[in-house]
Structure 1
């Protein structure tokens, strides 16, 4: 993997639950890692759903290997939240391909 291709900054976030002073559980996101990544592929597909039409943006990031990233986390890239769909690593554990999706509903 060439470091010159890793020109984008992404943030891996994990869902956490904290309890406020009244005992109410609050869901929030905690940053696990800041990574440099290559934007491998970006595409948009339109789907008809029960609520109407919606667009699904698919983005594939490639980054250096990091232990412990799962589908339960999400990627924050350029101010947009991307849900992780699939994580693929090479056999030598040098890099990860993180396949993500963002669904936008049409008004």
Structure 2
């Protein structure tokens, strides 16, 4: 994985329960990891399949192997937009991680 291609900054967030001083609780997205990534838009074939299936915008984020475990219950914040993680693939032997995501809303 070439460092020159990791030009975008992304933040991995995890949903956690926060308790206020008065005892009420609510779910909030808290940052877990901020890292650089290569962002790959959907290919032409994926774009056509997504339009037929009615799916949302899809993107693949390529990052170096993370220091924190990442799961599909986490989400990514990139360019002011939230992205739900729908798939994870290891690149090499823990060289990197491909994170497939779709735009929220």
The verdict on a shared fold, with TM-score over 0.5 as the criterion, is yes
Aligned residue in 2 for 1:32: 32
Structure with more of its chain in strand, by fraction: 1
Match in the other structure for 2:22: 22
Partner residue in 2 for 1:51: none
The count of aligned residue pairs is 99
Q: CA RMSD in A?
A: 1.9
1:32-60 residue CA offsets vs partner (Å, 9 max, x unmatched) = 11110001233653478xxxxx6601010
Structure 2, unaligned runs of 5 or more: none
Structure 1 length-normalised TM = 0.82
Structure 1, unaligned runs of 5 or more: 49-53
Scaled by the length of structure 2, what TM-score is found?
Answer: 0.83
Equivalent residues of 2:65, 2:97 under 8 A apart: yes
Task: Give 1 or 2: higher helix fraction.
Answer: 2
